[in-house]
Chain A
Amino acid sequence: MSAPFLPSLLLEDLVVKRGGRTIIAKLGLSVAAGEVVGIVGKNGGGKSTLLMAIAGVLAPTEGRIMIAGANVWGSSTQRRASRRALGYVPENADPPGFLLGGELWAMCAASRGVAGPSDALVEAMGLDELRDVAIERMSLGQRRRACIAGALLGPPTLLVLDEPDNGLDAKRLTVLGDLVSGHCAENNSAIVATHDRDLLTRIAARIVEI
């Protein structure tokens, strides 16, 4: 858990180019501990690209990304520290399809050096039914639940969710909102890209348009 004065996420003059096109231009953003930030914008506006850069999946062209004081694209020690403080679910939620749900959580837990899903998380996300199911046999909603569970292990200082509402039914969407709110109530933070303004209102997110 980060110290109260240290932002969970700090973006400084971030520029991301893909295929010669500038997707993110000189973006600055700070997410305080305990805060939820909702990223909104039109399709193709760069929401997923931004979250990929924050999650350490896509290297930015310029600028700096700090998670809990560690540079996501800095030295190997900094990189490891930043990613230990991070839980990420991409838009497609598509880890290797042959993995079972339980194996995905085991991988997340082993990489971050934390325990597997708590009983409360298993109950809230209905993980029992996904433990022995291959990801390629899951529906989009089930896949997303499995990935969100993996991202929540720790729990991480910063939760990065890209379109988390895709494929989730109303009940699970409510549970997701509660989980994100509960996560941030413990002085952790979340950054959520979505088109669902209702979800952002429910989790009391500060909205950033890109």
Chain B
Amino acid sequence: MRAVIVPSVRRALPVWIGAGIVGAVIFGGTGMAPRDLTQLALRTPGLALGLGLAWLLLFVPVARLLVRDDETRFLRSLPFPQWAPRLIAAGALVALQVPWLILWLVGEGGFGGALALALTPIIAVLALVRGRPPRGVPVWRGPITALLGVYARALRRRARDALLRAAGLALVAGGAAGLFVRNNGLAPADASVLAASVIAVVLVPGWAGTLLPLCEVHGQARWLASSLGASDRMRVGVLGTAIGMVYVGAMVIAVAIAAVVVGELAVALVLVPVGVGTALGLALVVTRGVVWAEASVTPAAKVVLASMVASALAVVMLGWFGAVGVVALVTFGLAAVPVGGRESAELASVK
């Protein structure tokens, strides 16, 4: 049971945290009740589709561990019934969807629970789909593109589930930010600051999951990159670019959803630069954190911490300075990014 459940719970944890933050934003701050949301979803097919898609993106990566038996194949060699792990996995497949089930059970009772469970077979089928194994030799035109290609592959092969989760959370974060703004009736600049702050907080569990593979490849590729002539500055630049792509990508999804939910062009016009600028500033600050984490013995804890601190910093700066806080955040991020890194520190002692 431990072999089946523990890894899945570990993977589900960021989803629960993300859902918890969204729940606090939607149902705490605005006074909206779960029933209001579920009723709205039942009346609005677009919202229902969006919620369902978000949950698929969030939960399919968790379901992969339960539906495929890659991690538990060794259990077949043990002397107990072969159906036992499968039964436990099937139970976990339902039970680990706690936030989704609670929303629908509280909102619509037994009918809602049945509706929520209706997605489970689709989740199971999607979780069984395996991508084609990578093949072929890329053509890179220089050291920077080669290094960027390596980091992009780290994201695609090591952080695919985390990217899906980030996309799912981006949908939810955008929806939550949009609802929050709409219910507060603010001017465009204040509305954008509020929305960007909400998105920056809700997306922490989504972004954090993509950072550890990047942190690992940053360390693993060090000897190779150094011996091939890539300076630490180039490596940090490529790392920052990869992090920036993830942060801006998720932010763009969230901003697009928020703009649709708010439904005001004036807000959307301010929200786009504020959101994208916030994502860029966050990426710069987090790049510093990942470089710090790579040199430590507990990189996983440190990248999560870096992601949380960066988002907290963004909220503080946006709160203090309004939309101008984006400039302050980017400036702080640029100052924080190490331009020479460890290599320069070592070189300082060479005569």
Interface residues of A, Cβ cutoff 8 Å to B: 52, 55-63, 73, 76, 79-80, 82-84, 86, 88, 90, 94-100, 102-103, 105-113, 116, 131-132, 134
Nearest residue, chain A, Cβ from B145: A110
Q: Give bound CA distance, A98 to B153, whole Å.
A: 8
Judged by DSSP, the binding face of B is helix
Cβ B223 vs Cβ A90 within 8 A: yes
Cβ A99 vs Cβ B153 within 8 A: yes
Closest Cβ of chain B: how far from A15's Cβ, in Å?
9
The answer, among A60, A61, A84, for a CB contact under 8 Å with B229, is A84
The answer, among B136, B227, B230, B343, for a CB contact under 8 Å with A59, is B343
Closest Cβ of chain B: how far from A8's Cβ, in Å?
16
Name 9 A/B residue pairs within 8 A (Cβ), A-sorted. Answer: A59-B349, A60-B350, A62-B349, A73-B350, A102-B136, A103-B138, A107-B146, A111-B142, A131-B137
Q: Give bound CA distance, A102 to B150, whole Å.
A: 12
Question: Which residues on the B side are within 8 Å of A88 (C-beta)?
Answer: 223, 227
Q: Which of B227, B347, B351 has the most CB of A within 10 A?
A: B227
Cβ A62 vs Cβ B351 within 8 A: yes
Cβ B136 vs Cβ A132 within 8 A: yes
Q: Give bound CA distance, A80 to B234, whole Å.
A: 12
Query: Which 5 pairs from chain A and chain B are nearest by CB?
Result: A83-B229, A59-B346, A102-B137, A110-B140, A111-B228
Cβ B351 vs Cβ A103 within 8 A: no
Cβ A111 vs Cβ B150 within 8 A: no
Cβ A98 vs Cβ B346 within 8 A: no
Question: Which residues on the A side are within 8 Å of B143 (C-beta)?
Answer: 110-111
**Is B78 on the interface with A (CB-CB < 8 A)?**
no
Closest Cβ of chain A: how far from B236's Cβ, in Å?
15
Known A73-B350, A110-B141: A83·B228 in contact at CB below 8 Å: yes
**Is B221 on the interface with A (CB-CB < 8 A)?**
yes
Q: Which of A96, A98, A132 has the most CB of B within 10 A?
A: A96
Cβ A103 vs Cβ B228 within 8 A: no
Question: Which residues on the A side are within 8 Å of B135 (C-beta)?
Answer: 100, 132
**Residues of B110-164 contacting chain A, CB below 8 A:** 133-143, 145-147, 149-150, 153-154, 157-158
Q: Which of B157, B229, B231 has the most CB of A within 10 A?
A: B229
Q: Give bound CA distance, A199 to B173, whole Å.
A: 61
Q: Give bound CA distance, A45 to B146, whole Å.
A: 35
Closest Cβ of chain B: how far from A70's Cβ, in Å?
10
Nearest residue, chain A, Cβ from B137: A102
Cβ A96 vs Cβ B154 within 8 A: yes
Cβ B146 vs Cβ A106 within 8 A: yes
Closest Cβ of chain B: how far from A112's Cβ, in Å?
7
Judged by DSSP, the binding face of A is mixed
Nearest residue, chain A, Cβ from B142: A110
Closest Cβ of chain B: how far from A93's Cβ, in Å?
10
Question: Which residues on the A side are within 8 Å of B53 (C-beta)?
Answer: none
Q: Give bound CA distance, A103 to B146, whole Å.
A: 9
The answer, among A55, A60, A103, A131, for a CB contact under 8 Å with B227, is A55
Query: Other than the known A73-B347, A96-B216, A132-B135, what 15 A-B pairs have Cβ atoms closer than 8 Å?
Result: A52-B223, A59-B343, A59-B347, A80-B229, A83-B229, A88-B227, A94-B220, A95-B220, A98-B154, A99-B153, A100-B135, A103-B138, A107-B147, A111-B229, A112-B228
**Is B76 on the interface with A (CB-CB < 8 A)?**
no
Closest Cβ of chain A: how far from B299's Cβ, in Å?
15
Cβ B217 vs Cβ A96 within 8 A: yes
Q: Give bound CA distance, A23 to B142, whole Å.
A: 35
**Is B224 on the interface with A (CB-CB < 8 A)?**
yes
Closest Cβ of chain B: how far from A50's Cβ, in Å?
14
Known A80-B229, A110-B145: A103·B137 in contact at CB below 8 Å: yes
Nearest residue, chain A, Cβ from B220: A96
Question: Which residues on the B side are within 8 Å of A76 (C-beta)?
Answer: 231
Nearest residue, chain B, Cβ from A65: B350
Cβ A57 vs Cβ B158 within 8 A: no
Cβ A57 vs Cβ B154 within 8 A: no
**Is B184 on the interface with A (CB-CB < 8 A)?**
no
The answer, among A58, A80, A98, A102, for a CB contact under 8 Å with B157, is A98
Cβ A95 vs Cβ B142 within 8 A: no
Closest Cβ of chain A: how far from B278's Cβ, in Å?
30
**Is B82 on the interface with A (CB-CB < 8 A)?**
no
Question: Which residues on the A side are within 8 Å of B154 (C-beta)?
Answer: 96, 98
Q: Which of A97, A105, A116 has the most CB of B within 10 A?
A: A97
Question: Which residues on the A side are within 8 Å of B142 (C-beta)?
Answer: 110-111, 113
**Residues of B216-257 contacting chain A, CB below 8 A:** 216-217, 220-231
Cβ A59 vs Cβ B229 within 8 A: no
The answer, among B149, B158, B231, for a CB contact under 8 Å with A107, is B149
Cβ A107 vs Cβ B150 within 8 A: yes
